[in-house]
Amino acid sequence: MLAILIVLYARKHPLRLAGANLALLRPDPALLRIVVFKGVPMGLQMIVVSSAALTVMGMVNAYGSQVAAA
């Protein structure tokens, strides 16, 4: 997001925010809190699920390529 903003302002693109609209770039603390409180547990859950899948695949691959293909 930061790179896009830099490019928009450097090229003076018509989509850049200026004046009163510049305040729209500031995140809303209430929404940010909701995103963090819901996003962190979901992210940790995805890490656990991915780790479990990697563990199972590692165990299956230990039996050889024919078992892994099945």
How many Cα atoms sit within 13 Å of 38 on the Cβ side?
6
Which pTM does this prediction carry?
0.57
pLDDT in tens, 13-66: 988 888 888 888 888 999 999 999 999 999 999 999 999 999 999 999 999 888
- What does DSSP assign to residue 16? S
What SS3 state is found at 26? Answer: coil
Average pLDDT, rounded, for the chain:
91
What is the structure's pLDDT at 17?
83
What is the structure's pLDDT at 20?
85
